Amino acid sequence: MAARGPERVSVLLPTYNERDNLPLVVWLLARTFSESGIDFEIIIIDDGSPDGTQEIAQQLEKIYGSDKIVSWSLFLFSSGTAYIHGMKYATGNFIVIMDADLSHHVRLLYVLKQKEGNFDIVSGTRYKGNGGVYGWDLKRKLISRGANFLTQVLLRPGASDLTGSFRLYRKEVLQKLMEKCVSKGYVFQMEMIVRARQLGYTIGEVPISFVDRVYGESKLGGNEIVSFLKGLLTLFATT
């Protein structure tokens, strides 16, 4: 049976303290999908945020309707468990995973690209085409490019951006990958792409604009770099 294109897209949005960004992200997604006529739902999975994110999510559910917005509140989870939980309730045949912190400018290109190439996964890249970043200083750009270079040399992943986490997956593909991946945090995002290649799934790329968090702070300190290197070496030795 030939694989179908997106008939309904489920967007999984794990949140923690995103009270300010959440309504904006939901509004952008809702508008983008309805303008293109693609059926969608947004599944918000909140990690017990103390700032009232859950309350905002419930208001949005009332505004847009429960067939379009579903919100959950869990506690002490990793993004991996958030996705597993979200997927159980997702009714779409394609799943979008993205951050709720307005760092990804929501684009319709994903769905279009998938249709164009019938890809199993469409991944956003900051490094190709007219993809890029906004509000990054030289140091941050250098670290990003350096880390990506190292990743390309060691893992040869076949995708230009492994740590950007704006992706569209065919539902069965995501389920299979979630079973196989064992890392946590953003290393988990990297592992998904590496395993996807090993399993022979097709990956298309779309340039994305990574606009630095509008609300809240982004971290890129020594700790993040060390844990990135540890994760990279672990993937190097185990995949």
Binding site for another protein (CB under 8 A): 19, 23-24, 27-28, 56, 59-60, 62-63, 102, 105, 126-127, 130-136, 138, 141-142, 144-146, 148-149, 153-156, 209-211, 214, 235-239
Give 110-138 as a DSSP string. HHHHHHHHT-SEEEEESSSTT-EEES--H
113 vs 171, beta carbon nearer another protein: 113
Q: Would the CA dihedral through 45, 50, 56, 59 be positive or negative?
A: positive
User: Min. distance of Cβ 221 from another protein in angstroms?
Assistant: 20
Specify whether the CB–CB gap between 58 and 71 falls below 8 A.
Answer: yes
Kindly give the interhelix angle for 138-155 and 185-198, rounded to the nearest 10 degrees: 40
User: Min. distance of Cβ 44 from another protein in angstroms?
Assistant: 14
1 vs 35, beta carbon nearer another protein: 35
User: Min. distance of Cβ 146 from another protein in angstroms?
Assistant: 5
29 vs 82, beta carbon nearer another protein: 29
79 vs 148, beta carbon nearer another protein: 148
Angle 165-203-199 (CA atoms, 0-180°, nearest 5)? 105
CA 28 – CA 23 distance, rounded (Å): 9
User: Min. distance of Cβ 141 from another protein in angstroms?
Assistant: 5
